[in-house]
Structure 1
Amino acid sequence: MDPISARLRLRHPQRIDLSLDRMAALCRALGDPQERLPPVVHVAGTNGKGSTVAFVRAMAEAAGLRVHAYTSPHLVRFNERIRLAGALIDDAVLNDILDRIDATELEATVFESTTAAAFLAMAETPADLAVIEVGLGGRLDATNVISRPLITAVAPVDLDHAEFLGTDLAGVAGEKAGIFKPGAPAILGRQSEVAHAALVARAEAVGAPVTAMGTDFDAWAERGGMVVHTAERLLDLPAPRLPGPHQIDNAGLAAAVALELGLPDDAIARGIEAATWPARMQRLTAGPYGRAATAAGAELWLDGGHNPHAGRALAALLAERQARDPRPTALIVGMLANKDHAGFFAALRGSAAQVFTVAFDGACAPPEALAAVATGHGLGAMAVGQVDAALDRALSLGAGRVVICGSLYLAGEVLGAAEETWPA
């Protein structure tokens, strides 16, 4: 565990407790930094919100803007969560801000303290734009003390965190829509009918004008690139650097945000090509895992997706890759105990992949239990325990494409061991 994470866990409870009361009190004690941010793009969603933040940030920076960004969770270092005017926050600056938060002597969870630290650092560092990712839900998320966002955006909504948000998709979408504010444009990524209806109903109730993918604009792959079509514009754009058909939608949502911001077409194009986002179908080539796969003539990929929607995106990407370059495929899967294991494996049923289940530090599901669920959904599966042993087994059995997936926490461990660190 990195020193900043250890410090936060020592002084603040790790529980998730959705409420705005503690966060509002903490912000008041710090001088309400959330009211002193540069113009804010507030991004919610179940899957794709981090990638959308990365695309928006890259587009704005390509236009010459100084951009703050706040995302979660981190993968290797806590500092990944807070980017100030383009650079990851410095340890000394972060520790000073955490000292000021501790000096308030107010109770706050780790995420609330983290969010307050981000807002305070951003308020005290000049920038032109702040792109803020919701942590969980929206209505009661700590980031929702932002009262006057310039734009809100919602990436695809699906079921996740059922213990906090429930299993009713309309209700989950309503929670995500809690970030909508009067007069602030609400830009919606591609949604199911149920989620779309709930999001639009909430936007209309608060007076937020809606622009929705599939209705008011759209995005699709074409001729090796992508197209974004609005009522007034047709943008012929390069393909995202981030792989997978789902990233066309994420880039399209970001492009709609960029157009609302008034960014030029060339900045949108350059941002789509430049955006990176670790552990979202990231190719691993360095470190012991990457070298082992390369020596065996295999591709090694890392993806942090951990719910049925992410499973479907991974299945679509694997199908696309197999059509172009057929290879025996293996999945090395570790998941938190509270995730929808059955839904994740059901989405991958048609992939014909061999599954090896593993454990990682934290509240993960036992590998034997995961393997049983995968087997029950028609996948060949065996419990191995550790990533290195699973990779050795997959390569020895002739896998030519290996994907480590199922959890961002597992992804963080893999990135740390693989010497693939977050860019500065």
Structure 2
Amino acid sequence: MLLEINESEKTNYQQIIQEIFSYESKGIVLGLERIKELLAKLSNPEKNKKYIHISGTNGKGSVTALCTAVLKEAGYKVGMYTSPHLYDVRERIQINYQLIPEKDFVDCYLKIKSFITNQTFFEVITAIAFLYFHQQDVDFIVLEVGLGGEYDATNVIENTLVSVITNIELDHMQYLGETREKIAKEKAGIIKQNSVFVSGISKEDEIFPVFEKKAKIEMSIIVFPNIQQNEMMKTALFGKFQKGNALLARTAILELQRYGFMIDNDIINAGLMKVQWPGRMQFIADNIIIDCAHNPAGIACLVNEINLLKEEKKSERIVVVFGVMKDKQYEQMVAIINDVADVLILTHIPLERSIYPEELIPFITKEYYLFNEPNEAFSFGEKLLGEYVQKNHKTLLLVCGSCYLIGSLRVDLFKL
């Protein structure tokens, strides 16, 4: 049951949120020592739970949401932990698609506050999630890795039933390494002893031996999705690429049979059609799409989908609102966007990590406009969209480049 929160508690909640976000000043620091120390003081709420643990450069959030949807459809109480959030930090911690109530969020934080020493923002939120899921006695926890795998705070867990790695592309290289092989070694760290590893990486991929070696060390069974079933997959998530994510989720769920959890195909299919995962190839209006693609591989996948849509809808113009973090491969991302955009509207996301739009000008080959505020950029995009529609030009407006860009437009998007 959701707990009500009164006005004084509401003020307290807002103060707590500010306090928690102050931990962001510690930045991203990989390693398990700090989270282990914090969870030990809480009597290790993460222990003795049933986990599906998911990593990968792209698609891991979608697979997390898809697995959650199927387990919920099967009648289980399912904790889901994801990152980052779009609009509300509580999106990261959900049970059966219900956000952790504000009161529970505050209570969990206050329980751990006195034990916090040098933990990062992500480690604090992760500890809140484990504590809340323990208090609520969930049947399963579907856990999305925050960054990498081996030294990510979520990897403090020991008894994983199934681990899933979706793919390996170049991203977060300053933390994980500058080659696919180095990144693969980090992500392979989630493969646990005597568990099942569902591999989105094919045997033919040059980096597969990294996972094969780790699975052998851990005596973990390697399972591949049946690629022949890919085109048959159906899910509520839009985009052809989501078929592959749905297939990975289906494979992971079926592997739970090894542990005595029998979930039939009808339930799996029904669950895949009830998935909730906003901000991923999401239509917020008939001709406005938002997507969190934030690296070259993700943008390339998105552009493929937009090209298919352009043909299907007979669209003549694509207007793109684009903002990106300066620690991303933004040159490559813009180069890919150039291929599909007729007009680029560049903006600055209100975060220190965001690049300023004028810095992207050297890489632009199309008509462009610059705005320092995302809401101004989006409003201008809507204005162009209206003008083109009045002239009978079928047009799509796409917002992409970062989850943080989507999040910064919450008020504007909720008006639609």
Give yes or no for TM over 0.5.
Answer: yes
Q: State whether structure 2 residue 89 is matched by structure 1 residue 78.
A: yes
Say which of 209, 233, 253 aligns to 1:197. Answer: 209
Q: State whether structure 2 residue 148 is matched by structure 1 residue 137.
A: yes
TM-score (norm 1): 0.86
Q: Are residues 14 and 390 of structure 1, via their aligned partners in 2, closer, same or farther at CA, if it must alter by over 3 Å?
A: farther
Q: Which amino acid aligns with 1:249?
A: G
| C-alpha distance in structure 2 between counterparts of 1:69 and 1:79, whole Å | 11
Say which of 356, 362, 373 aligns to 2:363. Answer: 373
Q: State whether structure 2 residue 38 is matched by structure 1 residue 26.
A: yes
Q: Are residues 156 and 9 of structure 1, via their aligned partners in 2, closer, same or farther at CA, if it must alter by over 3 Å?
A: same
**What is the aligned partner in structure 2 of residue 307 from structure 1?**
295
Q: How far 1:105 moved relative to its partner?
A: 4.1
| C-alpha distance in structure 1 between counterparts of 2:384 and 2:362, whole Å | 18
**What is the aligned partner in structure 2 of residue 290 from structure 1?**
none
Q: Which amino acid aligns with 2:186?
A: E
Q: State whether structure 2 residue 358 is matched by structure 1 residue 347.
A: no
Q: How far 1:300 moved relative to its partner?
A: 0.5
| C-alpha distance in structure 1 between counterparts of 2:298 and 2:182, whole Å | 20
Q: Which amino acid aligns with 2:377?
A: V
| C-alpha distance in structure 1 between counterparts of 2:201 and 2:266, whole Å | 24
Q: How far 1:263 moved relative to its partner?
A: 1.5
Match of 1:357, SS state, is: strand
**What is the aligned partner in structure 2 of residue 417 from structure 1?**
412
| C-alpha distance in structure 1 between counterparts of 2:14 and 2:358, whole Å | 30
- Cα pair 2:370 2:377 within 8 Å, conserved: no
Alignment of 1:229-308 (within 5 A): 239-261=234-256, 262-285=262-285, 299-308=287-296
- Cα pair 1:46 1:158 within 8 Å, conserved: yes
Alignment of 1:96-115 (within 5 A): 96-115=107-126
**What is the aligned partner in structure 1 of residue 396 from structure 2?**
401
| C-alpha distance in structure 1 between counterparts of 2:254 and 2:312, whole Å | 34
| C-alpha distance in structure 2 between counterparts of 1:105 and 1:258, whole Å | 36
| C-alpha distance in structure 2 between counterparts of 1:347 and 1:199, whole Å | 30
Q: Are residues 130 and 7 of structure 1, via their aligned partners in 2, closer, same or farther at CA, if it must alter by over 3 Å?
A: same
- Cα pair 1:97 1:120 within 8 Å, conserved: yes
Match of 2:43, SS state, is: coil
Q: How far 1:203 moved relative to its partner?
A: 1.8
Say which of 314, 321, 325 aligns to 1:332. Answer: 321
| C-alpha distance in structure 1 between counterparts of 2:210 and 2:345, whole Å | 38
- Cα pair 1:372 1:381 within 8 Å, conserved: no
Q: Which amino acid aligns with 1:243?
A: F
- Cα pair 2:64 2:144 within 8 Å, conserved: yes
Q: Which amino acid aligns with 2:236?
A: R
Q: How far 1:76 moved relative to its partner?
A: 0.9
Q: Which amino acid aligns with 1:254?
A: A
Say which of 85, 104, 121 aligns to 1:93. Answer: 104
> 1:151-194 CA deviation, whole Å, 9 max, x = no partner?
10011221111111121101101111100011110001255813
Q: Which amino acid aligns with 2:396?
A: R
Say which of 157, 166, 185 aligns to 1:155. Answer: 166
> 1:190-214 CA deviation, whole Å, 9 max, x = no partner?
558134332223222322111123x
Match of 1:115, SS state, is: helix
Farther-moved stretch of structure 1 (14-23 vs 342-351) = 342-351
- Cα pair 1:41 1:153 within 8 Å, conserved: yes
Match of 1:92, SS state, is: helix
TM-score (norm 2): 0.88
| C-alpha distance in structure 1 between counterparts of 2:114 and 2:380, whole Å | 46
> 1:284-329 CA deviation, whole Å, 9 max, x = no partner?
13xxxxxxxxxxxx60010011101111111110121122112111
- Cα pair 1:242 1:275 within 8 Å, conserved: yes
Match of 2:87, SS state, is: coil
Q: How far 1:393 moved relative to its partner?
A: 5.1
Q: Which amino acid aligns with 1:199?
A: F
- Cα pair 1:85 1:125 within 8 Å, conserved: no
- Cα pair 1:55 1:271 within 8 Å, conserved: yes
Instruction: Note the aligned Cα RMSD (angstroms).
Output: 2.1
Q: Which amino acid aligns with 1:339?
A: K
Q: How far 1:7 moved relative to its partner?
A: 2.2
Alignment of 1:385-400 (within 5 A): 385=372, 386-392=376-382, 394-395=384-385, 398=388, 400=395
Q: How far 1:240 moved relative to its partner?
A: 1.6
> 1:96-146 CA deviation, whole Å, 9 max, x = no partner?
111111111422111001001100111111221110000000000000000
- Cα pair 1:305 1:407 within 8 Å, conserved: yes
Q: Which amino acid aligns with 2:399?
A: I
| C-alpha distance in structure 1 between counterparts of 2:267 and 2:16, whole Å | 35
Alignment of 1:177-216 (within 5 A): 177-190=188-201, 193-213=205-225
> 1:253-310 CA deviation, whole Å, 9 max, x = no partner?
001011112321111111111112111011113xxxxxxxxxxxx6001001110111
| C-alpha distance in structure 2 between counterparts of 1:392 and 1:366, whole Å | 21
Q: Could you list the runs of 5+ residues in structure 1 that have no partner in the other structure? A: 228-238, 286-297
Q: How far 1:392 moved relative to its partner?
A: 4.0
Q: Are residues 325 and 98 of structure 1, via their aligned partners in 2, closer, same or farther at CA, if it must alter by over 3 Å?
A: same
Q: How far 1:396 moved relative to its partner?
A: 5.4
Q: Which amino acid aligns with 1:97?
A: C
Q: State whether structure 2 residue 53 is matched by structure 1 residue 42.
A: yes
Farther-moved stretch of structure 1 (342-351 vs 168-177) = 342-351
| C-alpha distance in structure 2 between counterparts of 1:264 and 1:204, whole Å | 30
| C-alpha distance in structure 1 between counterparts of 2:24 and 2:294, whole Å | 26
Match of 2:280, SS state, is: coil
Q: Which amino acid aligns with 1:313?
A: C
